[in-house]
Amino acid sequence: MNVTLIAHTCLPEKLVAASAKLCYSASEISTVMDGLTEEKTANFVDMLSDIGHESPTEHASFTFGIEGVSRSLLAQLTRHRMASYSVQSQRYVMANQFEYVLPPEIAAIPEAADEYRRAMEEDQAHYDKLTAILKEKHLKTNLEAGMAEKAAERAAEKQAIEDARFVLPNACATKIMMTMNARSLHNFFKHRCCNRAQWEIRELAEKMFCLCVEVAPHLFKHAGPPCANDACPEGKMSCGKAAEMRSHYQSLIASKGR
């Protein structure tokens, strides 16, 4: 898995502080950014966290590039609807020797890993065979309809992979660009950094968390799983590792923040 912070709002914490300043003072729009030193900015952002005023944090957005994750993860990720997604299309991109994600529990057992790899190879073979059969059929139809040969072939390939992709597995790797504002990221980290979250999306969430803390440490110093800052809300479903998780996230903030 590779996760990068492609872009983010310029001076995200200062922008959030300015919006808070506007809410709580007689500031003018033309001067709302004035006088916001690093210390005053931090104080405003910390105040918002203390009083639970979250809406100003929506002005700061962060765009991530995500590679080497599965289609299974994509299904979970898009449940977070306050975000924007661009995903590499299986309708337009041929899955030649597709990459796939190997779950750690399977990788740890040689027999299971071998079985898994055979399944991926079989999926690739079925995909290739279906693509060839469908492409031949569509090419003939396109040529009979009077299309030029090159255009007919391009269209036939696109038509073929549109249906052949149905045999591709959830393990198939994909590439994603995702944009979230800071408020949505806090909610995402709350649910997906939790030790009970599925392993792949938990790994993604932690990588994103570290990138956010590096550029906006005050804005995200109380982010992460609920147990990092308060009691675990999971009740009898708790993983029982609240102290360990709290220490882990405090260490991440200390190492990644300024």
Supply 156's token pair: 């036939």
What count of residues does the chain have? Answer: 258
Q: Which of 165, 183, 192, 202 is catalytic?
A: 192
Dihedral sign of CA atoms 258, 59, 28, 222 in order: negative
Is beta strand 61-70 parallel, antiparallel or unpaired with respect to 84-87? unpaired
What is the residue type of 69?
V
CA distances from residue 223 to 77, 82, 114, 116, 250 in whole angstroms, order as listed? 18, 17, 39, 36, 10
Q: Is 192 an active-site residue?
A: yes
By the 8 A CB rule, do 22 and 141 touch?
no
What is the residue type of 119?
A
- The dihedrals phi and psi of 78, each to the nearest 5 degrees, come to -75, 0
Which sequence positions are flagged as catalytic?
192
